[in-house]
């Protein structure tokens, strides 16, 4: 019986985790569940999973949560300090499903306690990868990647030593602009970018998927998770999103991780690791029904964000942190119709140029957040005048 | 430094093994090399690999071999007893590349000495799988599958326990009749059957590939190698032959083994196992260059051999041994133009019916060969009168 804490319980990652924990209730006890501000949703989850502690990060929702759970015996709390209290509760593994910069501090705190992390938050490794991996090593915790691509790589790698790996390949759906020419991409609207062919996701990640910046950020995450340099990490466009990642070994063998598009599959893998648990509910892959899988090299001309991310990884130091912050501001400006799609890579590149050499590798979450704030300000200063939603 | 013995050194499996051993000469010492009767070819290989002992199974070629290797210090021999002497020489791993029934006795002898086996001979596991696996367990040897499909499954499985596997899938190219209708297949000629779309192979295995019997035999091998029943073993048609095998886990995760079509890749994997050795010479897979991978369920109506093999596996006992022998006779008759292609499954089915219940599971190679001979005679008796090349 393992105890699981779920950070971001009411989001999409949390929903998959809760579905898994309900199906596998014989194997897991649920400790803390944490959400942003959806008190009613969190209360429902806490009851269903019989959690011991429920916390909303937004203190203004704490009272609603307390009322919704009164008489259940489930303790409640609200605000950032309560989130850290939730992380302090005993747990064997923490699902890190809080999106964005807000996920850094609680995930870092959870790691400090030696808990294994089922990591869905992208920013932890992109913005402060060295610090997270160093802390994990220091406390003997394992960071288990929960997103499809890195989970596939983690499974395909198995116990193979790093020097047996020639390269790793992450697949990218290619997004809605895969077949568009450069001029049409440059003029794409937010409605175009949000029209993702295979996944229904939030506006930010859909836009990153359309620019391939999402895959660039994933290359950076893969670098930290698996210890490979930028030259041994590749992306290949695979619109069907059936093969999620491939490990190419030095003898020519290739191991691939595949799955139906169902977040419960990597979630259960992480929660059960290093064992596996059977699931009747998780979707199964039917290759014959899938029929055709295609693969193509990403086009660096039409999708410059991938190269920007790779260059930031090569540059090291704070460059990935800056890249991520600049991209967030640029994407928000694009979604607010303040800049055209084609300006996203240009803004990221200019921010990186301006800030080059100003910051070293963030030694922890606080340093990463300082760089993040500085980069956001630098990118904002590059935006055209007028109201922007950043 | 591991010592390797190569049985079948001048065949296609042996050629790949010799290429690997030449490239990896820092890691391997070559003990015995054994061939059927190509004395000149074997002498060249023995010199190139600096083998200690060279043997031809056909005693009439022994003198040519002795002359060709005189003055080199490489000992030579000829005939079946010398083959067993070659197997007795010290070795850590034996490449079992002798095709057909002739491979059974030397491979079984090699296993008795506790050597790991890099197994390319199909008949060992199809005809006497229980005996081979029991002996391997008894002496603590590992049977490492050298053919692409089972090697891919072996790699994809890793150290996962059998109860974490829901099913395994072997891919089949589909052969030259993949898109043909049943009537055209029934009337196919040997020239049609040998026109394989992706691999250049011998006449017997090309015909088995055209009928999908080859994949049926591989399902039987997989059963013995991995301990899964017939209901947990599937074949999927994948004409590009890039994905060789897939392991579907009970949590919905799927691990696949891929490689470029290069026998050196699984060969080096087996020889280096449980480590991996880097190779500059082994071909690399380029997924973007491959472009499109397709998958389709095999059609049981047009390709009844697959179901025959699966039924034989379910029936157990000597049924797989009988299936294999009947198929060999039927394929030889087809290649000699004595029967149409459509009669191959009919002859196999009738032989299995006639011999049902007559023989139990072969307890060793000798018993398997007795069943094999009886099944061949039974199938021959079913052939139309006239000269046949069996």
Question: DSSP string covering A329-350, please?
Answer: HHHHHHHTTSS-TTHHHHHHHH
Helix B343-355 vs helix B213-226: crossing angle, to nearest 10: 50
Residue B317 pLDDT class (50, 70, 90 cuts): very high
Percent of chain B surpassing pLDDT 70: 97
Residue in chain B nearest A256 by alpha carbon: B256
Give strand ranges (E) for chain A. 2-7, 28-35, 53-56, 75-78, 93-96, 116-119, 143-145, 165-172, 233-237, 243-249, 254-258, 292-294
Residue A279 forms contact with B (CB below 8 Å): yes
Task: Inform me whether the C-beta atom of residue B248 falls under 8 Å from chain A C-beta atoms.
Answer: yes
Indicate yes or no: CB of B159 within 8 angstroms of CB of A164: no
> What letter would DSSP give residue A298?
-
Residues B214-240 have pLDDT tens digits of 999 999 999 999 999 999 999 999 999
Query: What's the whole-number mean pLDDT along residues B102-120?
Result: 94
**pLDDT score of B300:** 95
Structure confidence at residue B273 (pLDDT):
97
DSSP letter for B296, please. B
| Cα separation, B342 vs A118, whole angstroms | 55
**Chain A residue nearest residue B282, CA to CA:** A252
Q: Which domains does chain A have, with CATH numbers?
A: 2-146 (3.40.50.720), 148-261+280-300 (no CATH), 316-390 (1.10.1740.10)
* pLDDT given for residue A389 in this prediction: 46
What is the DSSP code string of A20-74?
HHHHTTTTEEEEEEEESS-HHHHHHHHHHHT-SEEEESSGGGHHHHHHHTTTTT-
For A295, which of B253, B287, B296 is closest by C-beta distance?
B287
The model's pLDDT over A243-296, given as tens digits with 9 standing for 90+, comes to 999 999 999 999 999 999 999 999 999 999 999 999 999 999 999 999 999 999
Q: What are the chain A neighbours of B251 within 8 Å (beta carbons)?
A: 265, 268-269, 272, 276-279, 282
Q: How confident is the model at residue B294 (pLDDT cuts 50, 70, 90)?
A: very high
Residue B390 has pLDDT above 70, yes or no: no
- Return the pLDDT at B47: 98
The mean pLDDT value of chain B amounts to 96
- Mutation test of the interface with chain A: which of B150, B158, B253, B286, choosing the one with the most A Cβ atoms within 10 A? B253
In angstroms, the CA A345 to CA A211 distance is 8
Position B113 confidence tier, pLDDT thresholds 50, 70, 90: confident
Q: How confident is the model at residue B200 (pLDDT cuts 50, 70, 90)?
A: low
Give the pLDDT band of residue B202 (cuts 50, 70, 90).
confident
Do the chains contact at B296 and A292, CB–CB below 8 Å?
no
3-class DSSP state for residue B69?
A: coil
- What are residue B195's phi and psi, to 5 degrees? -90, 60
- Reported as a pLDDT band with limits 50, 70 and 90, residue B389 is very low
Closest chain A residue by Cα to residue B272? A251
What is the percent of chain A with per-residue pLDDT over 90, rounded to a whole number? 94
Residue B196 has pLDDT above 70, yes or no: no
* pTM across the whole model: 0.96
Ranges in chain A, pLDDT < 50: 389-390
Interchain CB distance below 8 Å, A268 and B279: no
pLDDT digits (tens, 9 = 90+) for B16-75: 999 999 999 999 999 999 999 999 999 999 999 999 999 999 999 999 999 999 999 999
């Amino acid at each position: 019986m393992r105890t699981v804490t779920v950070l971001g319980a009411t989001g999409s990652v949390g929903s998959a985790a809760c579905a898994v924990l309900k199906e596998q209730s014989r194997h897991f006890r649920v400790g803390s569940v944490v959400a942003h501000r959806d008190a009613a949703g969190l209360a429902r989850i806490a009851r269903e999973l019989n959690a011991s502690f429920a916390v909303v990060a937004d203190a203004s929702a704490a009272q609603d949560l307390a009322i919704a759970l009164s008489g259940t015996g489930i303790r409640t709390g609200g605000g950032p300090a309560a989130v850290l209290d939730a992380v302090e509760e005993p747990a064997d593994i923490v699902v890190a499903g809080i999106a964005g910069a807000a996920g850094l501090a609680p995930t870092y705190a959870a790691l400090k306690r030696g808990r294994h992390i089922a990591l869905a938050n992208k920013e932890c490794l992109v913005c402060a990868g060295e610090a997270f991996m160093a802390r994990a090593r220091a406390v003997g915790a394992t960071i288990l990647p929960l997103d499809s691509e890195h989970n596939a790589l983690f499974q395909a790698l198995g116990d193979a030593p790093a020097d047996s790996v020639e390269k790793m390949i992450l697949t990218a759906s290619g997004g809605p602009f895969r077949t568009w020419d450069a001029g049409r991409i440059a003029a794409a609207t937010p409605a175009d970018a949000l029209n993702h062919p295979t996944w229904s996701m939030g506006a930010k990640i859909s836009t990153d998927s359309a620019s391939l910046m999402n895959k660039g950020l994933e290359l950076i995450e893969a670098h930290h998770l698996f210890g490979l340099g930028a030259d041994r990490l590749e992306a290949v466009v695979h619109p069907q999103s059936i093969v999620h990642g491939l490990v190419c070994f030095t003898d020519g063998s290739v191991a691939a991780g595949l799955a139906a598009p169902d977040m419960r599959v990597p979630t259960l893998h992480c929660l059960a690791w290093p064992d596996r648990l059977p699931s009747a509910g998780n979707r199964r892959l039917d290759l014959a029904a899938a029929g055709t899988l295609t693969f193509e090299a990403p086009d660096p001309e039409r999708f410059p964000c991938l190269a920007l991310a790779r260059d930031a990884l090569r540059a090291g130091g704070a460059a990935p942190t800056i890249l991520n912050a600049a991209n967030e501001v640029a994407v928000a400006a694009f979604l607010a119709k303040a800049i055209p799609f084609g300006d996203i890579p240009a803004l990221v590149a200019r921010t990186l140029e301006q800030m080059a050499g100003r910051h070293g590798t963030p030694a922890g979450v606080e340093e990463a957040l300082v760089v993040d704030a500085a980069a956001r300000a630098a990118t904002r200063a590059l935006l055209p005048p007028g109201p922007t939603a950043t």
